[in-house]
Structure formats: C-alpha cells, structure tokens
Amino acid sequence: MQGMSERQYAAHVGLSRGAIQKAKTAERLVLNPDGSINAAASDARRAETTDPSKTRKAPAPKLKPVPEAAVAAVGDTLREQGLAVPPVGGGTTFLQAKTANEVLKAQERRIRLQRLKGELVERARALTLVFRLAREERDSWVNWPARAAALMAADLGVEPAAMQKVLEKHVRAHLDELAEVRPDFR
C-alpha cells in the first residue's frame, strides 16, 4: 500500500470516515494506483476545492471575560486567609479562584450559623434600634430641665424660670454637639 487507508486519512485530517468516503466519491481526493489515498496531494486538492464557509470548525470555547472586581475579590479573599496572591496583572489561576470560592462559602456558612445561634443581627434592625434608643435618650434630656430646674432653683435660692432657661440652653447646646456624631455601621 503506497498511501493511507480511508481510516488513516480520516484520523490524519480530523474528519469522519464517512466524510472521507464522500470526498472520495466527489473526486476531491488523490488516489494512488492501488486505491490508497495520497495524503499530501489530497490535502492540497481538498484545500482548493472545499468552500471554507461550509466547513465545520471546532467551536471555540465561549469564555466570558472576568470582571476586574471579581479578580480583585479573589485576591482580597486569598490575602485575608494568608494564602498566596497572584501579582497584579499576573492572572488568577483556576485553583486560586476555586480556593477563594471555598473560603467564601465557609465564611458564608459561619455567618449563617452565627445568625441561627442569635449571635448576629440584621444591620437594618440594629440601625432602627440604635436610632430609637438615641431618640429616647435625647427626649429624656430635653425634658430634664423642666423636671430638675425647680429643685435646683430651691437649693440655690434663685428664680425657677431663670434656672430652667439656663439649663435648657446648656442641655440643647450639648445635644447639638452629640447630633454631629454620625455612627458608621460598615
């Protein structure tokens, strides 16, 4: 046998044996006198006679670009756990991304468990509670001069209305200072 068999040539070009048989019938292959396929000449003839728009190409893998924020998050997670972080622009390996994913899942499970145990509260609920407590505290201080002024005035021997006016002025000034404090719950 001078050339290749149909099976050998099919493996050589990456096509099925049926496709090679069709090409042989359409006379797009060069055959040797013994009926075997001349690979080099057949490759050239197939390249000339084959319409490129009708060839099947192996589908390119559909890879979606990974946002920089996601890559940065992987690096941050690895850094928090004391693991190796790729240099900026060096690319994150699949193993590093998978490790970061497992770390994040473990952290999420820990948080869920803490919430079930009652060790964590929702941020919105905590903000509401702090706001309510601060308002109650403020209201109690706003009303305090009216309650305490008469008793303090009697102890000092001064006019109760004047004492109340001075106390209210100083309490409101102090409350204004406290109002400038903004809690940060991040």
Q: Compute the distance between CA of residue 150 and CA of residue 164 in angstroms, rounded to an integer.
A: 7
Write down the pLDDT at residue 77: 77
Write down the pLDDT at residue 61: 67
DSSP structure string for 49-84: HS-GGGS--PPPP-PPPPPHHHHHHHHHHHHHTT--
Write down the pLDDT at residue 94: 74
Nearest to 15 by CA among 33, 48, 39: 39
Residue by residue, pLDDT tens for the chain (186 residues) are 788 999 999 999 988 999 999 989 988 899 999 989 999 999 999 888 877 777 766 666 666 666 677 777 777 777 787 777 766 555 667 777 788 788 888 888 988 898 889 888 888 888 899 889 989 998 999 999 988 999 999 999 999 999 999 999 999 999 888 888 777 766
Q: Compute the distance between CA of residue 123 and CA of residue 150 in angstroms, rounded to an integer.
A: 42
Looking at the DSSP assignment, which residues form a beta bridge with residue 3? Answer: none
Q: Compute the distance between CA of residue 42 and CA of residue 31 in angstroms, rounded to an integer.
A: 8
Q: Which long-range contacts (CB under 8 A, 24 or more apart) does 74-80 make?
A: 74/100, 77/103, 77/104, 78/103
Contact predicate 92/74, CB 8 Å: yes
